[in-house]
């Protein structure tokens, strides 16, 4: 009996909030989250990642999870209807819930705030990819959602984001000064989509001439 007690005491604790989540989905989330973190698409605490478990349930990272090491203990299972568990889940969880409820094709959702995208969105109302991969993989003109009032954005975000996604009929939305929400049936596809948007914004930034407040014909004069 003593040996049994000691054995149980040393066993790893099961996360009761993820017992319904398959190992396959947990492994996908862990792998993609680490990859996005290493690529600079996630910050230490900026970003969130989730997967649908059923029509009414999804798993998402916890509020203080560091996104390069999202293991079972860093995940939570939530219902689409809000309850007390949202207090410990990612602050983006209620937006994930709204997207899952509104789009049956959403199997995975990612929010990221990569710097080139955020910087580009501050000075532009549309993204017009000038590189080949962005032009082919995105669209000739991608509208950017303007949250307008940052002070009330958190209260409006879930409704405004879903409305914009429905109007644009795209699987992602770029939000001025905030980041990207993207969803899809395949998590790798969603991650690649966000990486493609960041790449296109970075290429545009690198291709812009340095503004020295002089005319173009004099800028390179000797």
- For residue 24, what pLDDT is reported? 87
pLDDT at 19: 61
Longest CA–CA separation in the chain, Å? 89
What tokens does 30 get? Answer: 């862990």
pLDDT at 160 (0 to 100): 96
- pLDDT, residue 44, reads 82
Query: Can you give the pLDDT of all 222 residues of the chain as single tens digits?
Result: 544 444 434 444 445 455 667 788 889 999 999 999 999 999 887 899 999 999 999 999 999 888 888 888 889 999 999 999 999 999 999 999 999 999 999 999 999 999 999 999 999 999 999 999 999 999 889 999 999 999 999 999 999 999 999 999 999 999 999 999 999 999 999 999 999 999 999 999 998 875 545 455 554 454
**Following DSSP, what letter does each residue of the chain receive, concatenated?**
-HHHHHHHHHSPPP-TTSTTS-HHHHHHHHHHHHHHHHTTSS-SSS-EEEEE-SSSEEEEEBTT--TT---GGGEEEEESS--GGGGTB-TTHHHHHHHHHH-TT-SEEEEE--HHHHHHHHH-SEE---SHHHHHHT-S-EEEE----HHHHHHHHHHHHHHHHHHHT-SEEEETTTEEEEEES-HHHHHHHHHHHHHHHHHHHHHSPP--SS-HHHHT--
């Amino acid at each position: 009996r003593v040996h049994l007690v000691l054995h149980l005491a040393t066993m790893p604790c099961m996360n009761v909030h993820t017992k319904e989540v398959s190992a396959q989905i947990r492994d996908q989330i862990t792998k993609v989250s680490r990859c996005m973190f290493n690529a600079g698409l996630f910050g230490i605490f900026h970003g969130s990642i989730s997967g649908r478990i059923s029509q009414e349930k999804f798993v998402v990272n916890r509020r203080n999870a560091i996104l390069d090491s999202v293991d079972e203990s860093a995940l939570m299972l939530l219902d689409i209807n809000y309850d007390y568990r949202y207090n410990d889940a990612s602050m983006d969880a209620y937006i994930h819930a709204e997207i899952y409820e509104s789009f049956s094709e959403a199997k995975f959702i990612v929010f990221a705030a990569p710097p080139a995208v955020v910087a580009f969105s501050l000075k532009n109302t549309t993204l017009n990819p000038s590189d080949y991969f962005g032009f082919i993989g995105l669209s000739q003109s991608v509208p950017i959602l303007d949250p307008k009032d940052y002070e009330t954005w958190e209260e409006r975000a879930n409704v405004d984001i879903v409305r914009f996604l429905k109007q644009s009929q795209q699987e992602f939305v770029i939000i001025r000064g905030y980041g990207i929400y993207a969803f899809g049936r395949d998590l790798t596809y969603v991650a690649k989509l966000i990486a493609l948007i960041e790449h296109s914004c970075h290429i545009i930034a690198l291709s812009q001439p340095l503004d020295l407040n002089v005319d173009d014909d004099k800028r390179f004069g000797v």
